[in-house]
Amino acid sequence: MSTAGNGADGTVVIIGGGLAGAKTAEALRAEQHSGPIILVSAEQHLPYERPPLSKEYLAGKQTLDDFTVHQRSWYEDNTVDLRSGLSATGIDTALRSVTLSDGSAVGYSSLVLATGSRSARPPIDGSDAEGVHYLRSIDDAAALSGAITAGTRLAVIGGGWIGLEVAAGARGRGAEVTVVEAADQPLKAALGPELGAVFAALHREHGVDLRLEAKVAAITTEDGRATGLRLEGGEQVPADVVLVAVGARPNTEPASEAGIAVEGGGVLVDAGLRTSAPGVYAVGDIAAAEHPLFGTRIRTEHWANALNQPAVAAANILGGNAEYARLPYFFTDQYDLGMEYSGHAEGYTRVVYRGDVDGREFIAFWVDAAGVVLAGMNVNIWDSTDDIKALISARRPVDLGRLADASVPLGELAL
């Protein structure tokens, strides 16, 4: 097979048909890549964004068409060879070839791994019963949405982003919701215990039965269908529908099996998203990227990386030397709470607030021992994200009293 060409005219193979894969193809064409692009997608659907699955789609505010990245005509007009329903079964980095699940093989001059994540499936008895759901794909979301109606008893295992967003959407439909979380606060791994308490109060105020420091021993069943949860200690939680939302697992197997460096659940890449194999890049959920600002590797399973990393990979495929230096970013909307989070809070020693925490109109800052702001989250306060990002990027100690004082413009603190 031929892998002729490089740079602007070589064959680029993209493995993964989500947002990151589609955006990589888009960025390559935008940067005038003239060679073949082959986009391999395991799903039959056109590539789409995933955040709406637990938000607008579940709430009935959007359909799949609203968050499909490009319509089929775009792939045709831009001569992107979209191969749906296929996955990579082998990568030969020496020969620069990829074997696909239909037995075919394609050569590449550059390869982009955008394989995303899958739902974690803990070994819980009853987890394969009818009425047990996971949420990763549009098909998962459609099945879950169809199962939740007014009066449905929904039990959610896991108090992370997916679990809480689905809980909020289900309450909006009139369902009875119980969330079971092993930690002492929801979202503790993502936000720490301080902000986890804010979300705990939010959900309880909206009628969610939130069980913290509780572990699921089994999903109870009758005639092959889920009937609820049995917690350690024997307590029963009756349910008509069960959602298992205990995190995601990055799909790093194609990389590791090819001998590409993988560590700590991510494919190791430099700031330019290059892997350890020549001509191979990784973007999105799987990319554990060196971050120029924080001086450490960061891997996040958030929409912003899938949206923005492809432009960096595309630039470097075409001979550039771009770096991915954007701050980690994510958002959520639950009930009347909307928030945006920027930064990387690892190593923080305290949280500083400005605004009304009880009224859920505030900004939280994660600060290290030297007074450097590592991350910030604006809750129901808009037009502040740019100032928060500037403050984080400055990497300088700030006066914490002024940081907490809403009368002091944030822009002044970053100077």
Same domain, 254 and 230: no
Within 13 Å and on the Cβ side, how many CA atoms surround 86? Answer: 22
Same domain, 227 and 260: no
Q: Find the mean pLDDT for residues 228-233.
A: 96
Same domain, 358 and 376: yes
Q: Which of 333, 325, 290 lies closest to 308, judged by CA?
A: 325
- The predicted pLDDT at position 7 comes to 60
pLDDT in tens, 354-378: 999 999 999 999 999 999 999 999 9
- Give the contacts of 142 (CB within 8 A, at least 6 positions apart): none
Assigned domain for 395 exists = yes
Assigned domain for 78 exists = yes
Same domain, 113 and 260: yes
pLDDT of 6 strictly over 70: no
Classify the phi-psi angles of 199: left when phi > 0, otherwise alpha if psi is within -120 to 50, otherwise beta. Answer: alpha
Same domain, 382 and 401: yes
CATH number for the domain harbouring residue 180: 3.50.50.60
Assigned domain for 330 exists = no
Q: What is the distance between the alpha carbons of residues 17 and 20, in angstroms, rounded to a whole number?
A: 7
Assigned domain for 207 exists = yes
Assigned domain for 37 exists = yes
CATH number for the domain harbouring residue 356: 3.30.390.30
The one-letter code for the residue type at 93 is T
Q: What is the distance between the alpha carbons of residues 180 and 210, in angstroms, rounded to a whole number?
A: 6
State how far Cα 219 lies from the chain centre: 26
Q: Which of 264, 253, 291, 261 lies closest to 277, judged by CA?
A: 261
pLDDT in tens, 64-109: 999 999 999 999 999 999 999 999 999 999 999 999 999 999 999 9
Same domain, 66 and 151: no
Q: Are strands 236-238 and 97-100 parallel, antiparallel or unpaired?
A: unpaired
Q: How many residues are given for the chain?
A: 415
- Give the contacts of 334 (CB within 8 A, at least 6 positions apart): 164, 165, 168, 199, 202, 203
Q: Which of 313, 367, 4, 392 lies closest to 194, judged by CA?
A: 367
Same domain, 215 and 297: no
Q: What is the distance between the alpha carbons of residues 50 and 47, in angstroms, rounded to a whole number?
A: 10
Chosen domain end from 191, 226, 246? 246
Partnered with residue 210 across adjacent β-strands are 179
- According to DSSP, residue 274 is labeled B
Q: Find the mean pLDDT for residues 162-169.
A: 97
Assigned domain for 6 exists = no
Assigned domain for 323 exists = no
Task: Give me the domain span that covers residue 215.
Answer: 132-246
Same domain, 400 and 352: yes
State the chain's mean pLDDT as an integer. 96
Same domain, 236 and 257: no
pLDDT in tens, 101-155: 999 999 999 999 999 999 999 999 999 999 999 999 999 999 999 999 999 999 9
Assigned domain for 127 exists = no
Same domain, 308 and 256: yes
Rounded to 10 deg, the angle between the 303-317 and 19-30 helix axes is 40
Rounded to 10 deg, the angle between the 188-205 and 161-172 helix axes is 20
pLDDT of 5 strictly over 50: no
Chosen domain end from 246, 262, 277? 246
pLDDT of 407 strictly over 70: yes
- The predicted pLDDT at position 2 comes to 35
Same domain, 230 and 204: yes
Chosen domain end from 201, 229, 246? 246
- The percentage of the chain sitting over the pLDDT mark of 90, rounded to a whole number, equals 95
pLDDT of 3 strictly over 80: no
**Structural domain total, the chain:** 3
Same domain, 281 and 381: no
pLDDT of 17 strictly over 80: yes
